[in-house]
Structure 1
């Protein structure tokens, strides 16, 4: 009888243990890790996905008044600081931060303001000489000459890679519409341009003779996406389209990494995922110096 009781107790004990384990198993099971699906697309699909749904942002370049047209309601293909319409779209031949010569104030031979008495004497002199002996009236073109001088001082340059149908000219003139977040984009460019250009030059300095020949006289374009948090701190960078030269690609990424912080981003730029997504295109056109073969 004692043996039977022991067997029965053992059976009940093991039965309760099994039932308890079955009940506790789902509660003790670790949650399955979240799976993020990553799909690698071919380069052309990536490039098509990166084509801006909106228009390209370009740095504002002030053009001479005679080149402007009245503003209209047509849609310009570029966005910038101000709305502007021009008679013909052109781009400066020289690369660099986009600026026209009119933005560069001349500091050489800048005339000092005339003393009040001298200014009054000049005014009286102009009044008495309004009409010369042949009956022709004198015309004051000092304003036009001053504007011309400003355009002759320094040089014009363009910092963006523009469509091929924008012909090369003496300065940059583009049809633009006002972009709400232009100031932030301009600050980002100012923070990264020098860093990027420096790293590109370092990459070129490391070229051997064959590299210089192969890299010369063509465009090397890197397309990259940079993820910022809502405070403007760089969180990640992704090369979406390689230029074909690794050091050129890394020059773009490392320029952003070195700058690291892009202060005061507009909160309207924050997407649903809580981050700001910036897509930039970096174009290098290298013209190697003349190379002479030595036998």
Structure 2
């Protein structure tokens, strides 16, 4: 690509590593007998029409259990907010007391730049690149933060979204927690490899979308790449994360189709921008 920045040891890069989760709500009852499960799963590259899906986001406080007039998000509970915002800090989603107090006092969230754990370029060697937490006071709970990928949502002092209750939220949250263990470390390793090989990555959102099939026990049986990112290392990291994170036991009965399968659509995003430091985010959609 002609206008893509070429990675070199001194190149400055911004990485936004995020998980995108799209949930297909399946209400068919579980039927059929037991089926012998294979120890292997199939990886395919296919093109599918968009499936009915909505974005599943992490639950946040405070919750008012009010059904919003309009929402593109599903979560643990219903929530209606006058203005949607996302926390400016990145990490496992939480709204802290201090930031909630600001909202109660009527202060408007100011326009702020995204901040997050930093890694210097010198960390891009062969050694591991551990994530560094944001500096906070020892007794402080830290600032509000989110690791959901929320393009188009303005930054604020907390995450506040219009959401509708999703019956199977807890199952998807378990899947995310498992994927979190493998996606970022494997992507880091592969990005290091890309740097060393002089790979070129464009400054945009690079999305790997997967179509996943589980059996009724939550074991992985097939992965289909419905939308490649264009970078093999990113696609490979996404596939690796699901392979290592599986199985996801005890899927809700309502998600199991008549043929005994559980169907998921999951996307992984890497966003790059040229700035002096490397910022690492993990998010689901």
TM range (shorter): 0.5 to 0.7
**Larger radius of gyration, structure 1 or 2?**
1
Which of the residues 100, 108, 116 maps onto 2:95?
100
Deviations 1:59-83 (A, max 9, x none): 11224x7xx6x82462422110011
- Aligned equivalent of 1:79: 74
Deviation digits for residues 132-170 of structure 1 (CA, Å, limit 9, x no counterpart): xxxxxxxxx9xx89xxx9xx7313332232242x21223
Change (3 A) 1:53 1:89: same
CA drift of 1:279 comes to 0.4
* Alpha-carbon spacing, 1:167–1:288, altered in 2? closer, same or farther (3 Å): same
Structure with greater contact order relative to length (CA < 8 Å, sep ≥ 6): 2
Q: Distance in 2 between matches of 1:154 and 1:85?
A: 25
5+ long unaligned stretches in structure 1:
1-39, 105-140
Offset at 1:254?
0.8
Q: Is the 8 A contact 1:62 1:103 kept in 2?
A: no
CA distance in 2, matches of 1:252, 1:271: 25
Say whether 1:205 aligns with 2:192: yes
Counterpart pick for 1:231 among 211, 217, 223: 217
Deviation at 1:103, TM superposition (A): 10
* Secondary structure, aligned partner of 2:268: strand
1:153 aligns with one of 138, 141, 151: 141
Q: How does 1:255-266 map to 2 (within 5 A)?
A: 255-266=241-252
Structure 1 position 210, deviation (Å): 8.2
> How big is the shift at 1:217?
4.1
Aligned to 1:170: 157
CA RMSD between the two structures: 3.4
Mark the runs of 5 or more structure 2 residues left unpaired by the alignment.
1-44, 106-136, 278-285
**Residue 288 of structure 1: how far off its partner (Å):** 5.6
Residues 88 and 258 (structure 1 numbering): CA distance in 2 closer, same or farther, change over 3 Å?
same
Corresponding residue SS for 1:76: coil
- Superposed displacement of residue 289, structure 1: 5.9
Paired with 2:204 and 2:88, the residues of 1 have a C-alpha distance of: 15
Aligned to 2:15: none
SS in 2 for 1:207: helix
Seen in structure 2, the aligned counterparts of structure 1 residues 74 and 243 have a Cα distance that, compared at 3 Å, is same
Higher strand share: 2
Task: Point out the more displaced range, 201-210 or 269-278.
Answer: 201-210
1:224–1:96 distance in 2 versus 1, CA, 3 Å: farther
Distance in 2, Cα, partners of 1:173 & 1:180: 20
Cα separation, partners in 2 of 1:170 and 1:207, compared to 1, 3 Å = farther
The structure in which a higher percent of residues are helix is: 1
Q: CA deviation at 1:209?
A: 7.1
Residues of 2 paired with 1:168 and 1:179: CA distance? Answer: 25
CA-to-partner distance for each residue in 1:66-121, whole Å, 9 max, x for gaps? xx6x82462422110011111210112334332223499xxxxxxxxxxxxxxxxx
Relative to the length of structure 1, the TM-score reads 0.59
Secondary structure at the residue paired with 1:187? helix
Kept in 1: contact 2:67–2:164 (CA 8 A):
no
Matched length: 199
